[in-house]
Amino acid sequence: MSVGKSSLTLLEIASWHPTIAASRTEALAHALEGGDVLVLPKLAFAFEQGEERFLDAKWSDARAKNISFDAGKIKGAKGAPEDLADLGRMIARFANCASELIAALFPRYAPHQKRAQTSFRPHPALGRDVSWRKDDTRLHVDAFPSRPNRGERILRVFCNVNPRGEDRVWRVGERFEAMAEHLLPRVRTMRRFEAATLAALRVTKGRRSEYDHLMLGLHDGAKADIDYQRNSAQQEVRFAPGTTWICYSDQVMHAAMGGQFMLEQTIYLPLSALYQPDLSPIRVLERMTGRRLAA
Ligand code: SIN
Ligand code: FE
């Protein structure tokens, strides 16, 4: 793995429920909430007997990019019911590992963690034929068009489970604030009845806040700008098999450039759970615009 100068913090733990000193938690929270990727090169996900068979793209139903598991239901997979039940158990075990890890590292988050979807990504990161907006090989921050989050954070835990020694390869871009200074001036303002209309048409689940609008604008603005993609500050980061990594994907500029077979857990956290809410994207954007961006 290449560890660059700035945005990675290494953590040499090998347990999904480590014991961590409070001072270490503070330092790690500062790094994570400041936009670092926490990299745990010794924390592998342990397969149980027979589960390696799932390291094959044939389990994907080929319509969805990922196999996902949410509220006890598996989606995007195909196979015999017994196999899919085993696959669901494997993904659910990863979900438990990921939430336990976050609760152990960051006790303040523990009671606030909202576990969202867990995904298993059996397809190669490269080679998917998608529109520029869905192209995750372009640097971006995550923002969901249909699920407004009004400043709530998107924390993600990833684990490379490749059986053939292939790294997951990312590009990690510049800090959120630098990116926003560059791209925010080009994001159009939200139209007067836009949020209400989108909610009424059920394009969005609930009302889009101005924060959501700006985050989508930054997501799209970065992905659409070829010059920004090529020339903005960035580093390649390689996550070897058996590596887990954690980041706020609504804050870290990231792009997936290679690799196959990864598990991922999404966790939502309210601003009130953070160690340093002032570092969060909503507070950064509020300082830049001089406005409250979500009620
Ligand atoms: C992404 O979250 O944009 C993609 C991450 C990955 O598939 O490695
Ligand atoms: Fe992403």
Ligand 1 centroid to Cα of residue 223, in Å, is 14
Identify whether the C-beta of residue 114 lies closer than 8 Å to the C-beta of residue 155.
no
Task: Determine the length of the chain.
Answer: 295
- Cβ atoms of 128 and 247 closer than 8 Å: no
Report the nearest-CA residue for atom 7 of ligand 1.
256
| Residue 193 placed within a domain | yes
Reading across the β-sheet that carries 254-258, which strands appear in turn?
Answer: 234-239, 168-173, 254-258
Cα 121 to middle of ligand 2, angstroms: 13
- CATH code of 227's domain: 2.60.120
Going by DSSP bridges, is the β-strand pair 234-239/114-121 parallel, antiparallel, or unpaired?
Answer: unpaired
**Ligand 1 atom 5, closest CA:** 256
- Among 39, 68, 117, 121, name the best residue to mutate to test ligand 1's pocket (greatest count of ligand atoms within 8 A of Cβ): 121
Tally of domains in the chain: 1
Going by C-alpha positions, the residue among 142, 152, 124, 141 that lies closest to residue 209 is 152
Atom of ligand 1 nearest to the CA of 254: 3
- Residue 295 included in any domain: no
Q: What is the pLDDT along the chain (295 residues), one digit of tens a residue?
A: 333 446 999 999 999 999 999 999 999 999 999 999 999 999 999 999 999 999 999 999 978 889 999 888 999 999 999 999 999 999 999 999 999 999 999 999 999 999 999 999 999 999 888 899 999 999 999 999 889 999 999 999 999 999 999 999 999 999 999 999 999 999 988 888 988 899 888 988 988 999 999 999 999 999 999 999 999 999 999 999 999 999 999 999 999 999 999 999 999 999 999 999 999 999 999 999 999 999 8
Q: Cα–Cα distance between 93 and 19 in angstroms, integer?
A: 20
Residues of the domain holding 44: 8-289
Which residue owns the Cα nearest ligand 1 atom 3? 136
**Residue with CA at minimum distance from ligand 1 atom 6:** 256
Going from the Cα of 255 to the center of ligand 1, the distance in angstroms, rounded, reads 6
Q: Is the pTM higher than 0.75?
A: yes
